[in-house]
Amino acid sequence: MDHVLRLIVVQCGTVELILDFDDDITGEPWIECDRLRLQQILLNLLSNAMKFTPNGSITLAVKIEKNLDVLAKFGKEIESSENFVVLFLSVKDTGIGIDPSKKKALFKPFSQLDAGSTRKYTGTGLGLTIAQNLVHRLSKERSKIEFTSEVNEGTTFFFHLPVNLIPPVLPVAQEEERKKHSLELLSKSIFVVFISSPEIRKFFTSEIRGVNTLLRRYTDSLNETSELLKSLREEYPKCNLLCFVDTGCGSEEIILDPFVESIKSTGVDLFLITHINQRNHYHSWFTSSDFPVNIITKPFYKDHIINSCAGAMQRRKNKSASLRKRSRDGIKPIPLLAPKKAANAEGAKE
Ligand SMILES: Nc1ncnc2c1ncn2[C@@H]1O[C@H](COP(=O)(O)OP(=O)(O)OP(=O)(O)O)[C@@H](O)[C@H]1O
Ligand SMILES: [Mg+2]
């Protein structure tokens, strides 16, 4: 966010930039989100606001919604009422506004409302198309950018993003307590590790040896991993199943997609082990998949694995508790958006 604001403030000139953030929002990283994509969305919206506002102000607002009823509308997105929130983001300007008759063309690629040869404003007409596309991906297609506008009064673009909060760093004593709890959780777990690199095999056989788990299995192919997970699930119906897949060994999405499909029913917690510069690549793959995948970046260490495993198991527990509670209270998940086709028909087409 700081990075985006620095870029925008430099161009601001006579226009006032107002920030309207909820108090809980800090300068530290506090949500799990693809930073580069979110930056790109805000940059595109803010730069439009700058371009089409000769004078007046631009307001960037970020609000957090924690209300359980609102969150329930996101159905399966809810993992825990403690670490799940919905962000409402908006960019409001007091600029030239948008003619209602031209609304539909707005999100189409290369469309500019003033497209004549005498046009005043520069640009390619791609900013909104890209931003819309990114919002779709970040929100797993649950959200899109919408706007309200009055000619010569101004425009507000807005969207929402369901996100998980990053837990705060705990004081040492609490951190020890959490670690103890994590180790307890792991003692009832089965590790299945799909490895081809000697480095990862060594790590799981030596470093993680000190962690007491129920069973450990190592495999050499994803097919074998999937069969093994299914048979372990049958044999141990109540155990935590944790599967680690090393993405450094050719397990690209194309292979991962059918693999994930085949193991869905086992209720396994899946961890992709990937190199830091591949993180964003796999992150976008897993945000488009509806199966929760955890990403562990190299280089990793023992506590990192323990915390990730415990976090995933805890989320699973919270999720099933929340689903149970909702079905007890008779709350049905309400999809926030119209089905994909209908949403596209309204001009949000990419
Ligand atoms: N805040 C705004 N106020 C008024 N008109 C806007 C605003 N944002 C976008 N528009 C209109 O929508 C059109 C498309 O916006 P978009 O960001 O896609 O393209 P661009 O800004 O023209 O070019 P680019 O972003 O690729 O440099 C703009 O040309 C403008 O006519
Ligand atoms: Mg633009």
- Over the Cα atoms of the chain, what is R_g? 23
Q: Whose CA is nearest to atom 17 of ligand 1?
A: 127
Predicted pLDDT at 231: 93
Which residues sit opposite 32 in a β-bridge?
Answer: 164
Maximum C-alpha span of the chain? 73
Quote the CA–CA distance of 173 and 249 in Å, as a whole number.
Answer: 39
pLDDT tens digits, one per residue of 47-93? 999 999 998 999 998 888 776 666 666 554 444 445 667 888 999 99
End-to-end CA distance of the chain: 26
Q: Whose CA is nearest to atom 27 of ligand 1?
A: 123
Quote the CA–CA distance of 130 and 247 in Å, as a whole number.
Answer: 28
To test the pocket of ligand 1, the residue of 112, 147, 152 to mutate (highest count of ligand atoms within 8 Å of its CB) is 112
Domains of the chain, earliest start first: 2-166 (3.30.565.10), 172-315 (3.40.50.2300)
Residue 297, judged by CB atoms within 10 A of its CB (0-12, 13-18, 19+), counts as middle
Predicted pLDDT at 127: 92
Predicted pLDDT at 69: 64
The pairing of beta strand 293-298 with beta strand 16-21: unpaired
Ligand 1 centroid, distance to 43 Cα (angstroms): 12
Predicted pLDDT at 218: 87
**Positive or negative: CA dihedral 314, 317, 319, 322:** negative
* Cβ 5 under 6 angstroms from ligand 1: no
Ligand 2 centroid, distance to 125 Cα (angstroms): 6
Predicted pLDDT at 147: 95
Predicted pLDDT at 208: 72
Residue type at 321 in one-letter notation: A
Unique residue bearing structure tokens 């299945």: 192
Residue type at 240 in one-letter notation: N
To test the pocket of ligand 1, the residue of 11, 45, 48, 98 to mutate (highest count of ligand atoms within 8 Å of its CB) is 48
pLDDT tens digits, one per residue of 271-318? 888 876 666 667 666 666 667 778 787 767 777 788 788 878 777 776
Predicted pLDDT at 13: 65
Ligand 1 centroid, distance to 339 Cα (angstroms): 26
To test the pocket of ligand 1, the residue of 47, 51, 102 to mutate (highest count of ligand atoms within 8 Å of its CB) is 51
- Counted residue by residue, the chain has a size of 350
Which residues sit opposite 91 in a β-bridge?
Answer: 60, 157
Ligand 2 centroid, distance to 44 Cα (angstroms): 5
* Residue among 33, 30, 263 nearest 137 (CA): 33
* Residue spans of the chain under pLDDT 70: 1-13, 23-30, 67-84, 114-120, 167-172, 175, 196, 209-210, 248-254, 276-281, 283-290, 299, 318-350
State which H helix or E strand residue 57 sits in: strand 57-65
Ligand 1 centroid, distance to 148 Cα (angstroms): 14
* Cβ 125 under 6 angstroms from ligand 1: yes
E strands present in 137-292: 146-150, 154-165, 189-194, 215-219, 240-246, 269-275
Cβ 163 vs Cβ 287: under 8 Å:
no
Structure tokens at 20: 């309207």
* Cβ 128 under 6 angstroms from ligand 1: yes
Ligand 1 centroid, distance to 216 Cα (angstroms): 55
Unique residue bearing structure tokens 């309200």: 148
Predicted pLDDT at 223: 87
Atom of ligand 1 nearest to the CA of 91: 1
CA dihedral 165, 141, 149, 130 (to 10 degrees): 100
